[in-house]
């Protein structure tokens, strides 16, 4: 006799790393969106969705699931979920904050140092043998620079803490001033004008869409650099490409893009750009912690009616 599963059936939206997928299947009876087609009875049974922050949940999907009670995403970002629509229908939305702060902050520092010191190009320079016939060009130091953090939330504060030992000045842009000694800006263009480095780590979504535009890039200036570990939507990518091509700024390091995976984009052709495949939280330790938190959100909610980390 098979033991009844302790939880109602869950719809899995998205492809998960194998180890995470295994954990999800060990805990829940999972179905995929294709399973819903032609099976109205299954649509009636689904009470939860588990997904990832780089997938979008359509309102129409929520409408197909009359008994849906919770949407749990693996990730801190939930800009792909119609949260207000879901909450109006009584659906709780949860994310996985904090467990990935360190991993994303580490990547931001790695991208920044790679960009300033041209580390990827230096690696290729030595491996190609070019060092036999010429010295590698001089680059620039992080120490002594002024860094503007766009979005001093949990990840932004972890980035700031990791920057301080590099003897930099810190300033930040956000909705509200925080009880800190660092300079606060409520205008991102003014922050860009007053800093050498902009690090974008704010949430994605309508409030930050194309926050970094041509005017901000002009303000950052010809020796300025941009790092984005937030969402591609925060930066106007076409205007960034124009700024890079026109040497309006000195360079950019990007982990996120308007379209992912990045396709045939001009960004791939610039020498003053460092690119990464949306890997901020992509470490074994971090992704397991994210999955555990998403699973705990679902299981805890079904047991007690309370989720651990519901979004605002």
Active site (catalytic) residues: 231, 260, 278
> Cβ of residue 309: shortest distance to ligand 8YV, in angstroms?
12
Is there a contact between 224 and 198 (Cβ–Cβ < 8 Å)? yes
Q: Does 49 bind ligand 8YV (CB under 6 A)?
A: no
Which among 73-81, 131-139, 206-214, 295-303 is the span making contact with ligand 8YV, rule CB under 6 A? 73-81
From candidates 10, 28, 53, 216, binder to ligand 8YV by CB under 6 A: 53
Q: Does 100 bind ligand 8YV (CB under 6 A)?
A: yes
Q: Does 280 bind ligand 8YV (CB under 6 A)?
A: yes
From candidates 69, 145, 218, 278, binder to ligand 8YV by CB under 6 A: 278
From candidates 8, 23, 45, 54, binder to ligand 8YV by CB under 6 A: 54
Task: Pick the closer one to ligand 8YV by CB: 75 or 224.
Answer: 75
Contacts with ligand 8YV, 125-154, as mask; x by CB under 6 A: ------------------------------
C-alpha 28/C-alpha 299 separation (Å) is 9
> Cβ of residue 101: shortest distance to ligand 8YV, in angstroms?
10
Q: Does 233 bind ligand 8YV (CB under 6 A)?
A: no
Q: Does 208 bind ligand 8YV (CB under 6 A)?
A: no
Q: Does 69 bind ligand 8YV (CB under 6 A)?
A: no
Q: Does 52 bind ligand 8YV (CB under 6 A)?
A: yes
> Cβ of residue 83: shortest distance to ligand 8YV, in angstroms?
14
Task: Pick the closer one to ligand 8YV by CB: 51 or 195.
Answer: 51
Q: Which of 237, 178, 224 is nearest to 198 (CA)?
A: 224
Binding site for ligand 8YV (CB under 6 A): 52-54, 74-77, 100, 278, 280-281
């Amino acid at each position: 006799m098979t033991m009844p599963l302790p939880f109602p059936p869950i719809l899995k939206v998205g492809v998960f790393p194998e180890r995470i997928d295994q954990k999800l299947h060990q805990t829940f009876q999972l179905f995929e969106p294709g399973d819903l087609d032609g099976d109205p009875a299954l649509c009636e049974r689904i009470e939860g969705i588990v997904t990832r922050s780089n997938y979008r949940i359509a309102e129409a999907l929520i409408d197909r699931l009359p008994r849906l009670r919770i949407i749990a995403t693996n990730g801190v970002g939930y800009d792909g979920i119609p949260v207000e629509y879901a909450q109006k229908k009584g659906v709780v939305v949860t994310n996985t904050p904090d467990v990935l702060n360190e991993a994303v902050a580490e990547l931001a520092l790695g991208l920044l140092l790679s960009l300033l010191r041209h580390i990827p190009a230096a690696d290729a320079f030595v491996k190609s043998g070019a060092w036999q016939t010429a010295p590698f060009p001089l680059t620039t130091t992080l120490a002594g620079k002024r860094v503007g953090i766009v979005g001093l939330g949990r990840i932004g504060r972890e980035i700031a803490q990791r920057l301080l030992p590099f003897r930099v000045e810190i300033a930040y842009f956000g909705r509200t001033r925080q009880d800190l000694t660092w300079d606060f800006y409520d205008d991102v263009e003014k922050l860009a004008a007053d800093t050498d480095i902009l690090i974008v780590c704010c949430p994605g979504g309508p409030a930050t869409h194309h926050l970094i535009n041509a005017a901000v890039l002009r303000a950052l200036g010809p020796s300025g650099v941009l790092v984005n570990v937030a969402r591609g939507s925060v930066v106007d990518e076409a205007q960034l490409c124009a700024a890079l091509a026109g040497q309006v700024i000195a360079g950019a390091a990007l982990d996120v893009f308007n379209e992912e995976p990045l396709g045939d984009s001009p960004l791939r052709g610039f020498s003053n750009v460092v690119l990464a495949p949306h890997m901020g939280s992509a470490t074994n330790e971090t992704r397991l912690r994210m999955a555990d938190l998403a699973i705990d959100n679902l299981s805890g909610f079904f047991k007690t009616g309370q989720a651990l980390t519901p979004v605002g």
